[in-house]
Structures are given as C-alpha cells and as structure tokens.
A = this chain, B = another copy of it.
C-alpha cells in the first residue's frame, strides 16, 4: 500500500469525482448499487467487455499509467465501432497490486476517464480490488445502434467486396519498435499506434447507419484471424490481394530499417483496431460517393465457402490465409 492506508470508498470517490456525463439516458450514475439508464426504444443496445491485463496485453515498460487506462477503453470501444454503434456507458473493473500507490491507481483511472471524455462515454460504475502482481482492467461498454441496424459478422455473401480502414501492421510493428528502443519520426508513429489506438467509431456508425456494410469486425487479433472469424460466421470464403493491403510509409520504412518482410505484420499483426467490412456490389456506387471519416481500401472479395480464405501474391501465386493472430493461451 506504499505506506498509505486508504479505503476503497475514498479511492472510488477520488477516482470518480471528476467523471463527466455525456448521455441524456443516464438517470443514476456512480454511487448506488447499480447505475440506472433510460431505455431508448428507437435503438438496440450493444454490450461488450474486454480484459486488459499486465504482461498479457501490455508491459509497463512501454506504457505510461495513463496509456494503460486509455488503451483498455479504446480497445473495448473498437467492438462498439465494429457493430456500427455509438458508445454510451462504461463499467470499469480495476484490480491492482499493493505496489501501485493510490495516486498511481488514480492515474490509470484518469487515462480511462480522458479516453471516455474523448469518445463521449459516461462512466457509471465498476469495482476495485487487489491482485498480487498484475494491473488488470475489465472494461464493459454499453452502446446503442439504430433498431435492427447492428452490423454483424455473419452477413457477408459471395460477391461482396472486402474493405479495411486505415493501414495494417502498425500496432504490431509499434510493439517491436518499443521493445527495440527505436527512435525517430517513423518509430514514433508506430509506437503511438501501439499505445494509443484509435477506435473507428465514426466510420463504424457511417457504415451501419447508412446500411453500407453487410458484415463487419474489428482487426484486433490480426487480419488473418479476424477475416477468418468473419468468414466462419458468414459461412463464406474470401480472396484477398496482398498488394491491395494498406501499409503506411512509416511501416514500410521501419520494416526496411529492421530488414523485415512487410507481409507478416500486415497479415497477422493484431491491435490495429481497424474495421474490416464487406459491401455488396449493388451498394458500391452509393458507398463510393459517400463522405467517410477515414480512408478505406478495397482488399478483396467474398467467395464461396468451399474456396477457403486465400491470399494472392503479386507473382500470381495464392496461399491459404491461416489464422496466426494473437492468442493469449499459446503464449
């Protein structure tokens, strides 16, 4: 306890004293047995939760205490984005060891609060506890989406075009950059992608509310894994073109600097939190005319299930794209 005795109630009061309210649906916030929220009948509710655990999801050597809190919330927000929803409320489960002082714990919570403010999330509760060693966060989010408008993983059909937002592999390479202690502008761009991911909330909403996307998932485990999940849920296959996969200049430069092939990070690297989605051909013209908040790239096409999930290289050869994304349980 770093020599300072304190009560859970005091700590909760200190942490949550500055929490801001962003939703008119809130009736009762932090401080009772439950938060109370008005139901909005014009919307469906989205529910998701994500664990963010020291040594599994982050290493304190590469993350400030604020960044730990911020990334936990941002990663969870990406699941709301992937349904086409807007975030509303959050509950935070926060367990930490005695080696973390109350002030440090407040700093972690401050990182959550800052991210919550940025994305208009109202913190409505949660719980605190001790662990022996690790900082552990569990971020539960309640979001909403127009009635029947949630974009599922299961709606892709053969002929749909596959898109991905932003660029791939940067968060993966950003972790390498941090581990190796690389510096410079490119290294800085990549390490920021690892430490401060950007959930694609506005893009997800545009895709959902205008009915563009037939299926969607966020790229949290890596393209190979997440495209696999989408195809499995939809009962389809996919054909991806390697040369169409979006990579940034920073990514290319650092790969060169490290004598690394660019393909592995792009195909399998996790934590980019980009949106991977499919658009039926008859909606393409309308989609291409629509102003969207982030660049997106067409990377391939949905095919019959029997064709599997394949990636075509520029020399014309194809290979099965097997999931090689992140798996805590094989680490």
Please report A residues at the B interface, Cβ cutoff 8 Å.
1, 5-9, 11, 27-28, 31-41, 43-51, 53, 55-57, 79-80, 82-83, 85, 89, 91-93, 95, 124-134, 136, 138, 140-145, 147, 150, 152-154, 216-218, 233, 327-331
Q: Which residue of B lies closest to A204 (CB)?
A: B33
Q: What chain B residues lie within 8 Å of A49 (beta carbons)?
A: 91-93, 125-127, 138, 140
CA distance A147 to B83 in the complex (A): 28
Q: Assess the A37–B27 pair: CB atoms within 8 A.
A: no
Inter-chain contact A82/B39, CB cutoff 8 Å: no
- Tell me, in angstroms, the Cα distance from A32 to B143 when the chains sit together: 14
| A83 to B, closest residue via Cβ | B34
- Flag if B48 contacts A35 (CB, 8 Å): yes
- Residues in B neighbouring A91, C-beta threshold 8 A: 47-49, 140
Contacts A45-B39, A124-B47; A33 near B153 (Cβ below 8 A): yes
Nearest B residue (CB) for A228: B9
CB contacts (< 8 Å) of A53 on chain B: these are 95, 129-131
Please tell me if the beta carbons of A56 and B150 are within 8 angstroms of each other in the complex: no
Inter-chain contact B45/A6, CB cutoff 8 Å: no
A33 contacts which of B79, B93, B134 (Cβ < 8 Å)?
B79
In angstroms, Cα B143 to Cα A148, docked, is 21
In the complex with contacts A8-B329, A40-B39, A132-B130 CB distance below 8 A: no
Q: Which chain B residue lies CB-closest to A218?
A: B33
Give the residues in chain B near A83, CB-CB below 8 Å.
32-34, 36
A255 to chain B, nearest CB (A): 28
- Is A47 in contact with B125, judged by CB distance below 8 angstroms? yes
Bound together, the chains give a CA A126 to CA B80 distance in angstroms of 14
Q: B47 to A142, Cβ gap below 8 A?
A: yes
Distance of A328 Cα from B127 Cα, bound (Å): 11
Contacts of A35 in B (CB 8 A): 46-48
CB-based nearest B residue for A92: B49
B39 touches A44 (CB 8 A): yes
Which of B46, B85, B138 makes the CB contact (< 8 A) with A138? B138
Among the listed B31, B34, B47, B141, which residue makes an inter-chain contact with A79, where contact means beta carbons less than 8 Å apart?
B34
Q: How far is the CB of A94 from chain B (nearest CB, A)?
A: 8
Query: B5–A34 contact, CB under 8 A?
Result: no
A121→B28 CA distance, assembly (Å): 23
| Residues of chain B with a CB closer than 8 A to A126's CB | 49
**Which residues of chain B come closer than 8 Å to A55, judged between CB atoms?**
130, 132
Choose among B31, B40, B124, B132 the residue that contacts A133 (Cβ–Cβ < 8 A): B132
Contact (Cβ within 8 A) A34 B7: no
Q: A136-B136, A138-B127, A153-B33 are in contact. Are A27 and B44 (CB under 8 A)?
A: yes
